[in-house]
Amino acid sequence: MIRIEHINKRFRKLQVLDNVSASFTKGQVVSLIGPNGSGKTTLIKSILGMVKPDSGKIYVDEQLVNSDHTYREKIGYMPQIGRYPDNMKIGQLFKMLQNIRNTPVEKLDKTLIEKFELEKIFEKPMRTLSGGTRQKVSAALAFLFNPAILILDEPTAGLDPLSSEILKEKILVEKKKNKLILITSHILADLDELTTHIMYMQEGKMQFFKDMEALQEETGELRLGKAIARIMKGEQFNNEWIDKMLEIKNDEKIY
């Protein structure tokens, strides 16, 4: 569904994407992981057409990105930080996007609107919302139009534990529908039950792209965090970042 061919992007002296190539197909839940500044968000924004690579090509369902923006109708995007008009009410935001997409009410997926109980606060202006509530709005918008592709950038950041579980359950439901789902997250434990493939990036380069089952077999570890830690031992990757990401509730390390 998405094909990336030799993408390069530089911001002044910083090479943020360095010859990145990958193919993602329906039914995959791909976890994009790596330290801050590794190029994950720039890659996502390149797929969305929000950043134009210096070289290389990206295809969504064989449609070349940047040649025609209609491919975006196939994608539901949840940004890490949602930015919306301050004075617009929550209900108005949903209605506006429904009108822009010209989608009948009966075809909308309102699951997260209902489970997050957003209709109770439809009259609240966006400027009054907490970070966690903004995340709920962003999540509900990403799933609203039942897209074939979901791109979720740090989806559980700022969510309370209950809301985080509601969102993960929704992702699992969409996974069963054979959709393509790309997720970035610094919380590796959140990815265990969701992930089918792992793409690890550092300093703009793709270090590896592995099937989760193959990774588990290769390392003998079932948990994503442990598997990554084991495969990266002795490699010239950012092990300090991995160490931080593998912290668990009792402040002990997984490895």
pLDDT digits (tens, 9 = 90+) for 147-200: 999 999 999 988 999 999 999 999 999 999 999 999 998 778 888 889 999 999
239 confidence band (pLDDT: 50, 70, 90) = low
230 confidence band (pLDDT: 50, 70, 90) = confident
Q: Residue 250's pLDDT is what?
A: 41
Place of tokens 């919380």: 187
Q: Residue 235's pLDDT is what?
A: 55
Phi, psi of 113, rounded to the nearest 5 degrees: -60, -45
Average pLDDT over the chain reads 88
Asked if pLDDT for residue 224 goes beyond 80, the answer is yes
Q: Residue 242's pLDDT is what?
A: 60
Asked if pLDDT for residue 106 goes beyond 80, the answer is yes
234 confidence band (pLDDT: 50, 70, 90) = very low
CA dist 212 to 136, 144, 216, 217, Å? 28, 28, 6, 9
Angle between helices 212-219 and 224-232 (to 10 degrees): 60
Determine which helix (DSSP H) or strand (DSSP E) holds 18, and give its type and residue range. strand 14-24
Percentage of the chain lying above the pLDDT 90 cut: 66
Asked if pLDDT for residue 241 goes beyond 70, the answer is no
**181 burial via Cβ count (<10 Å: 0-12, 13-18, 19+):** buried
As a whole number, mean pLDDT of residues 9-17 equals 94
Domains of the chain are 2-245 (3.40.50.300)
Percentage of the chain lying above the pLDDT 70 cut: 90
